[in-house]
Amino acid sequence: MAKLDGRVAVVTGASRGIGRAIAIKLASLGARVVVNYRSNRTAAEDVLRVIHNLGGEAVAVQADVSIFDDAQKLIQTTLDRFEKIDILVNNAGTTRDTLLVRMSEEDWDIVLNTNLKGAFNCTKATLRPMIKLRYGRIVSISSIAGIAGNAGQANYTAAKAGLIGFTKAVAKEVGSRNITVNAVAPGYIPTDLSSGIPPELIAKGMDMTPLGHPGTTEDIANAVAFLVSDEASYITGQVLAVDGGLTM
């Protein structure tokens, strides 16, 4: 895989799960990584230790990306430390699963604000520095739920589908500035975020997955690493499903 030497990457929600794997992968390829976290400083510092043990460079920055000023602070802190930003991975996400008839307004707002507005906040804050640099790689972590829908996740599905539309619109806006914007849509990946899925639903999903097994956080990190590399310089506005064939 192409090296990312000299690149500066911001990964939101990078203290655990998919974000953690992405941060470690990008650092292993030579990128200097900003590990964003909302509340779990201990977990973020563990990611830093892994990266430092690999010989990489990384810093942890606390910010709730659903809050516009926090997202601005995250990007400005990156610029103050590294003087540029080449790569943004919008990964921060949360769930509040329940059937729509039981879903509260708070359940809806929290999920939309973190998963979708967070990507808006961070991308908006990042675009001017990338335009000035005339280079950028933006990848948002969507979900197969955003492609096919998922019962009990109307809020999450709406947010992840929104990320797909957001990706395509922004890709058209900034393509002339040598900035690519893509999305990765994971299938079932065992993480803390997916730990509440009932086992019978997981089994049903695996029965419908041609490869017949769950993916790993590293599978998603590898896809992101490709999309942010120069090898993917002619790919933009795309949604890459990493799902074992489930949405085929």
- Residue 137 sits at φ, ψ, to 5 deg, of -135, 115
Rounded Cα distance between 187 and 33, Å, is 25
* DSSP conformational letter for 169: H
For helices 154-174 and 105-112, the axis angle rounded to 10 degrees is 30
Q: Which band of pLDDT confidence, cut at 50, 70 and 90, is reported for residue 114?
A: very high
| C-beta of residue 82 within 8 angstroms of C-beta of residue 59 | no
Report the pLDDT averaged over residues 159-181.
Answer: 98
CA atoms within 13 A on the CB side of 202: 13
Q: Give SS3 for 123.
A: helix
Q: Which band of pLDDT confidence, cut at 50, 70 and 90, is reported for residue 202?
A: confident
Q: Is residue 201 predicted with pLDDT exceeding 80?
A: no
Of 54, 44, 55, give the one whose Cα is nearest residue 20. 44
Query: Catalytic site residues?
Result: 156
Residue with tokens 């808006």: 120
The predicted model scores a pTM of 0.95
Rounded Cα distance between 71 and 132, Å, is 19
Rounded Cα distance between 134 and 114, Å, is 28
| C-beta of residue 177 within 8 angstroms of C-beta of residue 129 | no
85, two tokens = 């930003």
Report the pLDDT averaged over residues 86-111.
Answer: 97
Rounded Cα distance between 37 and 155, Å, is 22
List, for residues 19-74, the tens digit of each pLDDT value: 999 999 999 999 999 999 999 999 999 999 999 999 999 999 999 999 999 999 99
109, two tokens = 């707002």
What's the pLDDT score for residue 171?
98
Amino acid code (one letter) for 192: D
Q: Give SS3 for 153.
A: coil
List, for residues 171-196, the tens digit of each pLDDT value: 999 999 999 999 999 998 887 776 66
Q: Which band of pLDDT confidence, cut at 50, 70 and 90, is reported for residue 238?
A: very high
Rounded Cα distance between 201 and 205, Å, is 6
What's the pLDDT score for residue 106?
98
Rounded Cα distance between 13 and 91, Å, is 6
- Quote the mean pLDDT of the chain: 95
Report the pLDDT averaged over residues 69-93.
Answer: 98
Burial tier of 145 (Cβ tally within 10 Å: 0-12, 13-18, 19+): buried
Of 238, 246, 226, give the one whose Cα is nearest residue 144. 246
What percent of the chain shows pLDDT beyond 70?
98
241, two tokens = 């499903």
245, two tokens = 């064939």
Residue with tokens 């996400």: 93
What's the pLDDT score for residue 195?
66
What's the pLDDT score for residue 41?
96
